[in-house]
Amino acid sequence: MREFKTLTPYRKALKLLLDDLSEIKETEELHLSEALGRVLAEDVVSPIDNPPFDRSAVDGYALRAEDTFQAREYSPVGLKVIDEITAGEESRAKVEPGTAVKLMTGAKMPEGANAVLMQEMAEREGDIIRVLRPVAPGQNVAFAGEDVKKGEVVLKKGQVLRPQDLALLKSLGFKTIKVKRKPRVGVIITGDELIEEFDEEALKGGKILESNSVMLTGLVRQYFGEPVFYGVIPDDEKAVGEAIEKAKAENDLVLVTGGSAFGDRDFAHRFVKVLFHGTTIKPGRPIGYGERVFIMSGYPVAVFTQFHLYVKHALAKLVGARNYEVRVRARLTERVSSQLGRYEFVKVWYENGEARPIKKKGSGIISSLVESNGYIEIPEDSEGYLEGEEVWVTLY
């Protein structure tokens, strides 16, 4: 009887894996418009104060707030407009008591002014404006450095770049940004039983429509990687070995599905010096890893689990990504039980603060993945959770 003599505990195997990998050094300098979703390769320090000077935050009249303190609707204060500039211009005028400068949003505050009256709040006649209400010092002024100060770290290494991050970079004068090269991930599917196209006769003969390739290449894309698909390889020791060698040489990581157990056709582990093979995760127990190669199950649900519990974290380590998971608190709608000694991956549907466990079991039941949008993890020493208990859900 060939079986796993001992299962490596989940966290221990994860540590072995992450300790074995190091962050990719290579970076790419991308134009901001191409950097969405990429991972920042280094801290970004602002080269400037932003705004660089005190600026008007509205279209209106720059003035001395103290001139308006007595302004009332029944007793407006009149100020003389001594200069008028359009967008992108700077006024050289000095605002003295009783005067104002008309300016546009973003214009540098003229000397002497300390507040801006919104254009819509002024009544104008010729070069006189009537102020009906007091304006506070600093009102409608965007002060220098208020958004970002020169020398401040505005984005940290490992940030997955979002639209607003790109906007901040652009507002500070950056045109390009340094991101990590995408890890290349070779995907090898093995199994004589697999077919790529519908064929009723073949299915009757025991063939199975292969579905791991499109799932894994999609998951790799979701988590920072560039998948390279090596096709479906027959259960032939030489062919599997050659595919693994080739993929290892060409990629940062290699994912091999099928053949992770110790059956007659399970060749993959013969080509890899494994750091672990067989862990406490359920489903997906037979996973092996070594030399940047993951030996994964053939069953889609096991493969999906192995990806989320191991491969995802490996990819994040390669690019140094932070905050790549969304974890939420949820109330379980019913109890889930778990086998002691196994680290269970329980698929749930999360909605409205509640997590509903998916009942369908079985490593081949892809619909259980489709009907879920997240998972809870139940460690080896827990027998599960009660109905109504609060749990952490990781969304996918």
Q: Which of residues 293-352 bind its own copies (CB under 8 A)?
A: 298, 300, 304, 323, 326-329, 352
125: tokens are 């006649």
Determine the interface stretch with its own copies among 15-23, 245-253, 363-371, 379-387 (rule: CB under 8 A). 363-371
Q: 130 - beta bridge partners? A: 78, 123
Given the complex with its own copies, which of 18 and 32 has the nearer CB atom?
32
Given the complex with its own copies, which of 227 and 290 has the nearer CB atom?
227
Is omega for the bond preceding 163 within 30 degrees of 0, making it cis? no
Considering only CA atoms, which of 264, 268, 312, 271 is closest in space to residue 287? 268
Sites for its own copies among residues 266-295 (CB under 8 A): none
Q: Which of 197, 238, 249, 273 binds its own copies (CB under 8 A)?
A: 197
Helix axis angle, 10-20 to 312-319, nearest 10°: 30
Q: 187 - beta bridge partners? A: 229, 255
What mask, x for binding its own copies by CB under 8 A, covers residues 5 to 44?
A: ---------------------------xx--x--------
Q: Which of 121, 228, 274, 275 binds its own copies (CB under 8 A)?
A: 121
Contact call for residues 115 and 140 (beta carbons, < 8 A) = yes
Pairing mode of beta strands 336-337, 122-125: unpaired
Number of residues binding to its own copies, judged by CB under 8 A: 102
What mask, x for binding its own copies by CB under 8 A, covers residues 230 to 259?
A: -----x------------------------
Contact call for residues 76 and 69 (beta carbons, < 8 A) = no
Q: Which of 5, 22, 74, 120 binds its own copies (CB under 8 A)?
A: 120
Given the complex with its own copies, which of 159 and 338 has the nearer CB atom?
159
Shortest CB 70 distance to its own copies, Å: 20
> What's the rounded Cα separation, in Å, for the pair 227 and 199?
27
Shortest CB 291 distance to its own copies, Å: 25
> What's the rounded Cα separation, in Å, for the pair 117 and 279?
68
Shortest CB 343 distance to its own copies, Å: 21
Using rule CB under 8 A, residue 137 touches its own copies: no
Q: Which of 40, 63, 107, 358 binds its own copies (CB under 8 A)?
A: 107
Determine the interface stretch with its own copies among 19-27, 70-78, 157-165, 312-320 (rule: CB under 8 A). 157-165
Q: 122 - beta bridge partners? A: 131
> What's the rounded Cα separation, in Å, for the pair 172 and 197?
52
Using rule CB under 8 A, residue 130 touches its own copies: no
Using rule CB under 8 A, residue 3 touches its own copies: yes
Residues 6+ apart with CB under 8 A from 251: 183, 184, 185, 186, 228, 292
28: tokens are 């790419």
Using rule CB under 8 A, residue 168 touches its own copies: yes
Using rule CB under 8 A, residue 73 touches its own copies: no
> What's the rounded Cα separation, in Å, for the pair 16 and 10?
10
Sign of the Cα torsion 19, 20, 25, 27 reads negative
Q: Which of 24, 100, 166, 311 binds its own copies (CB under 8 A)?
A: 166
